[in-house]
Amino acid sequence: MNPVIILHAGLATGTVLLFAAIGEIFSERSGILNLGIEGMMLFGAMAAFSTSLSFGNPWVGVLVAMFAAGFLGILHGLVTIHFQADQVVSGLSLTFLGTGLALVLGEGLTGQTVALIPSFDIPLLSAIPFIGPAFFENHSVLVYVGYLFAPLAWFYIHKTRPGMHLRAIGEKPAAADTLGINVYALRYFYVFIGGALAGLAGATISLSVSPGWYSAQTTSGQGWIAVALVIFAQWNPLRAALGGYLFGALRRLILVLQ
């Protein structure tokens, strides 16, 4: 049992949860609960894989995945913001919709090979004993992006003016409206961002962490784990990142012990 290998795998798996959870944090901070993350992730994973198969470029796949899942986010926003439907019901319906679309459109993708997101070492940092091989050696680009994304998301939410507006429309929308903040437009924006990040999480799975398309098993319920992680993290991106990495490492450890 090599702790470096366990931590290395945990960071990769944790990156998936990090993107999905932070996307959900943005959505919930704006006042919109989204329980459709699992469906969005699966739809994003399928979109990324099929696009990479068609174009031979994983980054085109990532972009398509983000916009595809972001579109589902806009649909959720339309139902909950414009028509003021129950957010829980809409989110669960979105999970079924995203899953159904992914399974239908992804038929025939199983067993295909596509261009994947490249992995590489970080010079100098990868030579640090223990930490280097675990954190900075042979990781996907998106894992390294995750290292920066979590603190940047925290800084954005807590230390910037747009972040203050985000918290205001979620906590006191009436007061925000009186200050001239467009509550509806911002909520649509952040629901889209939440969906796009769920799509990014799905693309991270199918093009990096667990390359391939395995139908409904591609995401294996990680969207629900991301939703739970948001509550565990108390809507803090840094805690969400730590929780995601911890869960990823524990998941790998359990597989090793089996």
- The whole-model pTM stands at 0.96
Q: What local confidence, expressed as pLDDT, does residue 66 receive?
A: 99
Nearest to 76, CA basis, from 1, 137, 140, 24:
24
Please, which residues have CB within 8 angstroms of residue 224's CB and are 6 or more apart in sequence? Answer: 37, 38
Please, which residues have CB within 8 angstroms of residue 22's CB and are 6 or more apart in sequence? Answer: 149, 150, 153, 197, 237, 240, 241
- Lookup: tokens for 20: 């999905």
- For 36-55, what is each residue's pLDDT tens digit? 999 999 999 999 999 999 99
- For 187-223, what is each residue's pLDDT tens digit? 999 999 999 999 999 999 999 999 999 999 999 999 9
| Domains within the chain, CATH numbers bracketed | 3-257 (1.10.3470)
Q: What local confidence, expressed as pLDDT, does residue 109 receive?
A: 93
Q: What span, in angstroms and rounded, lies between the C-alpha atoms of 244 and 238?
A: 10
Q: What local confidence, expressed as pLDDT, does residue 126 receive?
A: 94
Q: What span, in angstroms and rounded, lies between the C-alpha atoms of 164 and 161?
A: 5
